[in-house]
Structure 1
């Protein structure tokens, strides 16, 4: 609704005084007049009956006319059609009699139209009254909380931008726009087809200033981007007439983009063929870009007979949809490049339930499921905080309760009761109630956490996190502690930790969750298939689009409040009180508005289908009821195809072209000067050119560094993060098995010394070159230098080379430690069976 400042612009539309023809009448009075005329018609029919005898069929009609309510009379077949076969046959009507009956029915119809106007006037009067109450209530709420909603701001800006505030002489909008124009050189509107009339009127003075050249700056411009075929938001106030009006402004130049740069040839052909018939001369045929023709693309249509049974229709469509989804997934099409579209969100929710029952491995990013705060790992972190919060609350209440109970016990022993003791008793009961609630909350949070962690219902795992009283406390540190404790090393948790680190003013988990309420899950964006309404997909593009519609098309003309405009100004508001059976009682103005709204709704439906079909880049699959909207409007045929489906199985782990590999390990030996000055680009470039065996060797060394140097028993997650883009899961598991084999070798006793004596990946300077030891173990005065090798084929020459390398390392350690006689070396070959060779100086 418009704000109070806007009421003047709609007063005429809502004020009953604007309809003087109905002021002296009211619905009840009209109802009585209709019943009186119906009685007169009944009397006439009985009077003209041959021989004064009214046959039963005609008599029943007369009784119905005399005993029915006004609404029932208006819907009677005789009144609607102004004739009745029974009456004609029973009364043997001549031409004059038929004309008289038709005339009397016409009188009742005219009264029906007047009755419709009276009801409408009464409703408008009540609507105007409720509007004023509503606006006053909104104002009080805004004033109380000192806030303005986005819509309220828009209404206030509208009041500034129009003459509304000039009535009292308090504000001059012309001067306001003069000042504003001096600060603005260029205006660009995107998605302009969804602009509302109110938004247009806010900006119209600026448009006029720029177009008239009356501003103080040169080279000003207006730029509008929009497509009338993609206007979907009429239900939010968007009005396509704004788009058309803007195109007619003076000095405006219109340009159209003729080439489609998103979709492949088959999809462009399908869209051209189907929508040219709907939009007629307004449609501009899309041309192919060079990109569109490298792969032909595909459009497949599958239609289903309408059985009249919703469940049968639904299961047929959903079953084939699931089959197509699996074909795409098996071809390793990225899940983020697949979207399921539907006209209604209910259809998507039903398909989601179907998936859970038939293939739970496929996840849909639907509604809240794609939000960061709804991911299991993030929820688990939240409930870790809540369990501690409730535990702390329970301890606090218990301590207070103990003090109160102690005081009451002393008073009981001394038999010294006072009014204060009565208050103590009340306080005790209040604290006991709070304690009960806190314990219930704690139990709920604990059970929720158990479920999220896959624990038993009866498990009571408690995770310690830093206390807020700590000098070094921060929310981010607490989250980091939980992530490490639960080993939640995934992208969503890293995202949560990053947000908490960047927003240090957020001190508790509830505030953080409120802050990230609308943040999307990183994992769901990659690992789930998108499912959204056509409105939600607007502006997006996907490689493969699956469109679902299992329901037959329904005529849905439920618009009751109709608006009449004079250009961009609201002229009147009408309420359609008629039902389908009483459409003949719409007066001309109301009928014209209803017809106009029906055409607009049909155009919106065309636009909805156009947006759905143009989201696809490579493939469009339509699974629909033969009587559905898309099937009837686009004249689809079962098994209709454009192009040819070519699903080439992609390598799911294939690295992208020019992939930059980030490694924490040094890739080559260099001088210290080179080591310090080497650019990152060349360092990464060198890594890119590494052979697969070198990557295996680096990942194996990294595993040993984590296991020996940092005491991490199972470094799978960290290894996957560092090398998962090169190695698949089976390779990573194999590497970890090889690394674990060293603990079962002849070095077992040596490796199980105090872990603090083991240093891994230790760099040192030798003859102006940076060298690196795989592992150095110190046990008192003894040093053990270990060199790991991943070589599979060990020749004598290779063994001599490795021995010489290790001996040079041992000599460097001997020089540094000055204890040559107490240094031992080991070459460890990490094959399926670990081979260890001791080396001496």
Structure 2
């Protein structure tokens, strides 16, 4: 097929509810009909849920298309209609449908999160990044890292850090988090920036005071200077100057100074202003230099612990990928290797991309757009919406979408398929004045949605929680199902507040809370953890008292001697202990059961407790049924029939960031240390300060846009009269439309499935109970033995990569370095590759492999034992097994091993008298002159 991609390089702006997932999946399907291999299309999303949904949507489109072509009703399917609009013919679709469907079903498409993509990149180049090939992704053991970092500080450093935290009103944990963020920023910052060397801030401050004394002396000599004016100029410290700097800034325009001719002091005043700017710059330099020394100590401590645990966080994976690209590997080589058979890129939710993520992806995107490479037909499809960029606290930078779109054609999705006409019109009217170039959403006429419902209510002195309950009752009394209602709030704390209030008023209302909290912060998990710790150390009353408090018991209470706390043995598996404790404390729910599930992989309490700090596990939702209560951030990407949007219960969180970041386009250019009043004297700092303020205000607006656009049928907005989060929207009380319940049929269908079915599963055992590995050893190995074993594994890997995957020598060597570079040096791995190649190019191997299929790493179970053949060569007449060994030591055992394989292969034809298949075997010693030893049956 030579179908040409329409709009080859496209940036699609997709407002809320405009069908971006459909657009992305349509693009993917279209590319398949243009001849793209599914594995050549890289599709990146920001959540696992989104990537799973994308895969299933594409599969569903292909299946519907395939079935409709078979049934003859293809003209009515939306996917067929859209493909025809894109320029495909019916013949194109019909001729290739079956092959495309089968190829997609059998392939492994690269539809993944951006974190998963960077993970795969780091796996490919781990040797260059100094990371083990078998690294895992999880939470960093923050407490251990922090403790080790603090233990390395002397008394003076500890006191300096304590003073810094006190003066900046931050906790020690916030200080340590700041060090980690600075480390990341130092990696991103433009290294060409030149440091400005000034006098020390102390010396500059003294010079400012001297200038002020000159000015004060002069003002005292002015006849019409009032005592108030004279006193105002008598500043003896920098703190006093910064407390009331208006007289310096306004100068002749200041109310008190208008009648005084200040021109004799104009030069002195300008010198003071310049010195104040220099003071802030010098102070900033000193603070950053002081912090940088601790950043390096913290980084080294953190890296040590992560290497020890063979662990990286998602942020570490991104950072290591960035370091690879910009510091540790040639960029052309990096992207040449990375670009292996990627010809099309689809990027979802691109407004949520961080600067660092964009810097990693940009060269790959540039190469796709340039069209240079092995394949001429390439495309880039970027989807995003700046109005929905709400993750600045995670590092997202909305401007990257605009930057990425500069060289691309631009298009808008103008229809809103989610919301009712009234909700669409209300949101258009509300947000059009707030966004420059706002494109109003349109209501698709073919949609069967009802007219909708919109209500804005000022609560006045009426408590917000009471107003929420009233609106909820109104919806329920109007016939709206609990499952069709969502209450959106600004903070996690508001969720619990509303839940308790509604439960107090009406316990029969089912509530499903979605809180962004860790599993380990839940009450049930804290109870079980303290119980495990007490069982492990019954001499410690600390955990017992914690447990009593968590269970709501008195301090002097105790448990019965027959309690599991006293009778259970600490040597039992943690899963067995937890199950008994859950039953005794009567805390069986999805939180405690999730914790129980985590424990099933561990054999001892020690092992389980040690692993917990690095586990990443969010608390499960209490239920998917009932009225949903969640934060606006949690609701992004979701939709609900009726939304009750609640104003802030408390003020917005104060800004505790201590640094400002200056960007040039989408590159981090400079870090500024925040100091109160600096913007009055440093114009460049002021510009950065205002830019940061504008970005935060923009994100606050985006949060409101996301909240208002979650509603399908109806939107209810509850706002306070004062300090409302909606002030900038200038909302007026309104009531439009009527509440329309969702159809009764769907409600009945939901109710019929409301009770979960309980199924008791029979125990059939597990493989570990009856399958033994072919070779098991419990001996302790020294370093040399361990290196020899790893060399042998590397040798086996060469044969597998060559025979099973037909890989080039360069690719094989790179993968060997990644997997075994920690154990074997480069020359040893080159030797393994050379010896294996010699075997594969020998006349003996060519003879025994002629006209045969090749399988590698063939596993089978025989008499409850797991075996694995290195290589199997076969055709209709002969089966040949090869087993590779790096040493002649134990040759008799090697012979017996291969004879066992041959015996198994011969047994496959028992019962088939017509079968005449010979079985042969070889032990291959690649490191010796005579490599192939044929083995004969007993």
Q: Under a length normalisation based on structure 1, what TM-score does the superposition of the two structures give?
A: 0.58
1:294 counterpart SS class: coil
Matched, 1:537 2:635: yes
Residue of structure 2 in register with 1:569 after alignment = 667
Structure 1 pair 349–255 and aligned structure 2 pair: CA distance change class (3 A) = same
Once the two structures are overlaid, the 10-residue window that deviates more, 333-342 or 145-154, is 333-342
Separation (CA, whole Å) in 1 of partners of 2:520 and 2:672: 45
Offset of residue 279 of structure 1: 0.9
Tell me, yes or no, if the aligned pair for 1:258 and 1:284 is still in contact at 8 Å: yes
Aligned residue runs from structure 1 range 369-408, under 5 A: 386=531
Separation (CA, whole Å) in 2 of partners of 1:555 and 1:485: 41
Aligned residue runs from structure 1 range 120-269, under 5 A: 120-162=284-326, 164-165=327-328, 171-217=329-375, 219-249=377-407, 252-269=408-425
Structure 1 pair 43–542 and aligned structure 2 pair: CA distance change class (3 A) = same
Offset of residue 271 of structure 1: 0.9
Tell me, yes or no, if the aligned pair for 2:208 and 2:272 is still in contact at 8 Å: yes
2:410 counterpart SS class: coil
Aligned residue runs from structure 1 range 582-731, under 5 A: 583-586=679-682, 588-637=683-732, 639-646=733-740, 654-656=748-750
Structure 1 pair 254–481 and aligned structure 2 pair: CA distance change class (3 A) = same
Matched, 1:27 2:201: yes
Tell me, yes or no, if the aligned pair for 1:268 and 1:286 is still in contact at 8 Å: yes
Residue of structure 1 in register with 2:464 after alignment = 317
Deviation per CA, 1:86-109, whole angstroms, max 9, x where unpaired?
A: 7558xx64xxx2444566544433
Residue of structure 2 in register with 1:274 after alignment = 430
Structure 1 pair 522–126 and aligned structure 2 pair: CA distance change class (3 A) = closer
Offset of residue 656 of structure 1: 4.9
Tell me, yes or no, if the aligned pair for 1:544 and 1:617 is still in contact at 8 Å: yes
Aligned residue runs from structure 1 range 327-346, under 5 A: 327-331=474-478, 333-346=480-493
Listed as ranges, the gaps of 5+ residues in structure 2 are 1-179, 759-938
Separation (CA, whole Å) in 2 of partners of 1:482 and 1:88: 77
Aligned residue runs from structure 1 range 100-139, under 5 A: 100=264, 104-139=268-303
Separation (CA, whole Å) in 2 of partners of 1:662 and 1:18: 65
1:128 counterpart SS class: helix
Deviation per CA, 1:287-321, whole angstroms, max 9, x where unpaired?
A: 1135755322212111245xxxxxxx5x6222111
Tell me, yes or no, if the aligned pair for 2:480 and 2:740 is still in contact at 8 Å: no
Separation (CA, whole Å) in 2 of partners of 1:156 and 1:64: 55
Residue of structure 2 in register with 1:73 after alignment = 241
Q: Of residues 196, 207, 210 in structure 2, which corresponds to 1:36? A: 210
Structure 1 pair 482–331 and aligned structure 2 pair: CA distance change class (3 A) = farther
Tell me, yes or no, if the aligned pair for 2:475 and 2:739 is still in contact at 8 Å: no
Tell me, yes or no, if the aligned pair for 2:661 and 2:670 is still in contact at 8 Å: yes
Matched, 1:48 2:222: yes
Once the two structures are overlaid, the 10-residue window that deviates more, 608-617 or 476-485, is 476-485
Separation (CA, whole Å) in 2 of partners of 1:244 and 1:576: 28
Structure 1 pair 302–38 and aligned structure 2 pair: CA distance change class (3 A) = same
Deviation per CA, 1:162-192, whole angstroms, max 9, x where unpaired?
A: 2x22xxxxx3231121122124233322211
Tell me, yes or no, if the aligned pair for 1:194 and 1:233 is still in contact at 8 Å: yes
Tell me, yes or no, if the aligned pair for 2:432 and 2:440 is still in contact at 8 Å: yes
Residue of structure 2 in register with 1:702 after alignment = none
Separation (CA, whole Å) in 2 of partners of 1:335 and 1:43: 76
Matched, 1:294 2:449: yes
Offset of residue 475 of structure 1: 8.4
Separation (CA, whole Å) in 2 of partners of 1:343 and 1:494: 29
1:255 counterpart SS class: strand
Separation (CA, whole Å) in 2 of partners of 1:655 and 1:9: 53
Q: Under a length normalisation based on structure 2, what TM-score does the superposition of the two structures give?
A: 0.52
Offset of residue 496 of structure 1: 8.5
Tell me, yes or no, if the aligned pair for 2:355 and 2:666 is still in contact at 8 Å: yes
Separation (CA, whole Å) in 2 of partners of 1:134 and 1:516: 21
Separation (CA, whole Å) in 1 of partners of 2:653 and 2:266: 31
Separation (CA, whole Å) in 2 of partners of 1:254 and 1:583: 38
What is the number of residues matched between the two proteins?
574
Structure 1 pair 200–3 and aligned structure 2 pair: CA distance change class (3 A) = same
Separation (CA, whole Å) in 1 of partners of 2:489 and 2:744: 28
Separation (CA, whole Å) in 2 of partners of 1:297 and 1:578: 49
Structure 1 pair 196–257 and aligned structure 2 pair: CA distance change class (3 A) = same
Deviation per CA, 1:749-781, whole angstroms, max 9, x where unpaired?
A: xxxxxxxxxxxxxxxxxxxxxxxxxxxxxxxxx
Structure 1 pair 227–6 and aligned structure 2 pair: CA distance change class (3 A) = closer
Offset of residue 81 of structure 1: 2.0
Offset of residue 195 of structure 1: 0.6
Offset of residue 544 of structure 1: 2.0
Once the two structures are overlaid, the 10-residue window that deviates more, 265-274 or 319-328, is 319-328
Separation (CA, whole Å) in 2 of partners of 1:660 and 1:347: 28
Offset of residue 119 of structure 1: 2.3
Matched, 1:437 2:540: yes
Structure 1 pair 649–359 and aligned structure 2 pair: CA distance change class (3 A) = farther
Matched, 1:59 2:230: no
Offset of residue 230 of structure 1: 0.5
Residue of structure 1 in register with 2:862 after alignment = none
2:455 counterpart SS class: strand
Residue of structure 2 in register with 1:525 after alignment = 624
Computing the radius of gyration from Cα coordinates, the structure with the larger value is 1
Aligned residue runs from structure 1 range 701-780, under 5 A: none
Offset of residue 542 of structure 1: 1.6
Tell me, yes or no, if the aligned pair for 1:297 and 1:619 is still in contact at 8 Å: yes
Separation (CA, whole Å) in 2 of partners of 1:172 and 1:85: 60
Structure having the larger proportion of residues in helix: 1
2:637 counterpart SS class: coil
Deviation per CA, 1:425-449, whole angstroms, max 9, x where unpaired?
A: xxxxxxxxx55437x7568768977
Residue of structure 2 in register with 1:719 after alignment = none
Separation (CA, whole Å) in 1 of partners of 2:222 and 2:757: 104
Tell me, yes or no, if the aligned pair for 1:342 and 1:533 is still in contact at 8 Å: yes
Residue of structure 2 in register with 1:789 after alignment = none
Offset of residue 198 of structure 1: 1.0
Separation (CA, whole Å) in 2 of partners of 1:11 and 1:152: 20
